[in-house]
Amino acid sequence: MGFAYVLIGVEIGATEEVLRELRGMPEVKESYGVYGVYDIIVKVEAEDMSSLKDVVSSKIRRIDRVRNTVTMIISE
């Protein structure tokens, strides 16, 4: 099982819209709007590291109005 926290920057005013879409993904276990350099933090769970990469690359980063992401893979 692979876990990661993903910090997400979105376009101005898009936080709630992006959060709704993220919360519809079965791999997203937690999601919060935050203040600071990034707008959203999510905890993602996937079957393995390859699947984790696919979730971030093919799902999260392709959401309309997502500008950038930083992924922190949980080691333990």
Give the pTM.
0.94
Taking the C-alpha atoms of residue 7 and residue 14, their distance in angstroms, rounded to an integer, is: 15
> Which tens digits make up the pLDDT trace of 3-40?
999 999 999 999 999 999 999 999 999 999 999 999 99
CATH number, domain containing residue 17: 3.30.70.920
Domain that holds residue 44: 2-73
Number of domains, the chain: 1
pLDDT-based confidence at residue 47 (cuts at 50, 70, 90): very high
Taking the C-alpha atoms of residue 71 and residue 6, their distance in angstroms, rounded to an integer, is: 4
